[in-house]
Structure 1
Amino acid sequence: MAWLSRPLTLVGLVLLAHGCYSAHEHTVLSSTSAQHSTSPSTAALPLDIYIETAVATFLLCVGLVLGSGTLKPIEWHTWAGKIEREADRSLSGSGDADGTTGNPFGALEARSGFINIHKLHEDFVKYSQQVGK
């Protein structure tokens, strides 16, 4: 269905642009005619502009949904297991230098801990006091 999604989206975009342009032109024409007449008139948009806009929005939604990829699993263990299995097949025994291949959170698990700035400052103050003696 991927071959159908692009034409549907394109037709939807063209119809939506035409509907927006028609609504703009109708508003401009009704405001200029109201300026020249003695009685104020507020003309509502014609029904065909509403229908065109609704059909264009529907076609855009259908085209975008048909063109979207497959959905990912909601459950984390299913998703992570799938990634690890794919990585094992593609690597066939060779891993990255940091050993995080196949694990979606491997980079987070392999990183070093946080630096304690206050502890480093205290150590520096103690060191500077010892060197200053």
Structure 2
Amino acid sequence: MTWLSKSTTAFGLILLAHACYSAHEHSALQSHRVASLTSLGTSQSGTATSLPIDITIETIIATFIICLGLVSGTSRLRPIQWRVWAGQIEREGEAGFLNSSGEVEKDYVGNPFRLLESRPGFVDIRKQRKEFAEWVKNQ
């Protein structure tokens, strides 16, 4: 993640923490208000109130800012098809897999066809048997 996405996410987390604290304070003040009204002997039937609109808006905006910061800091998506991904590795090499910090990503493994290109060919048993027979005769 870059410093911009990290700071955006941190700002969103601070806003969300403030909204949570405000919601807690609002509920504590409401319960204290209800307790004081019942101790005075007044009956209040509709004591349950919802959160103020500013706390609700702050929570929604904070969640949006956190999502924005997290999404802006993610790396590019990889192709779903393996052959497309392998072709990208062969064309671009390490340069195609640099993260936002300029380092090669840890899931980069190089040429995925390396194993297929470096495997030995088929073994001809008859040819080896014939060479072995000739070697035994020469010994």
> Structure 1 stretch 52-61 or stretch 33-42: which is displaced more?
33-42
Structure 1 outlier segments of 4+, above 4 Å: none
Are 1:65 and 2:74 counterparts? no
Query: Aligned with 1:77: secondary structure?
Result: helix
Query: Aligned with 1:45: secondary structure?
Result: coil
Query: Aligned with 1:42: secondary structure?
Result: coil
Q: In the alignment, what sits opposite 1:114? A: none
Shift of 1:83: 4.2
Q: Describe how 1:1-133 pairs up with structure 2 within 5 A.
A: 2-38=2-38, 39-40=44-45, 41-83=47-89, 86=93, 102-103=111-112
Alignment: residue pair count: 94
Q: Over aligned residue pairs, what C-alpha RMSD do you find? A: 2.8
- Report percent identity of matched pairs: 50
User: Hey, what's the Cα distance between the residues in 2 that align with 1:56 and 1:84?
Assistant: 42
1:16-69 Cα deviation digits (max 9, x unpaired): 011011111111111121122132411211111011101101111111111111
**Amino acid of the residue matched to residue 7 of structure 2?**
P
User: Hey, what's the Cα distance between the residues in 1 that align with 2:14 and 2:111?
Assistant: 44
Q: Greater Rg, structure 1 or structure 2? A: 2
> Structure 1 stretch 57-66 or stretch 35-44: which is displaced more?
35-44
**Amino acid of the residue matched to residue 77 of structure 1?**
R
User: Hey, what's the Cα distance between the residues in 2 that align with 1:12 and 1:3?
Assistant: 14
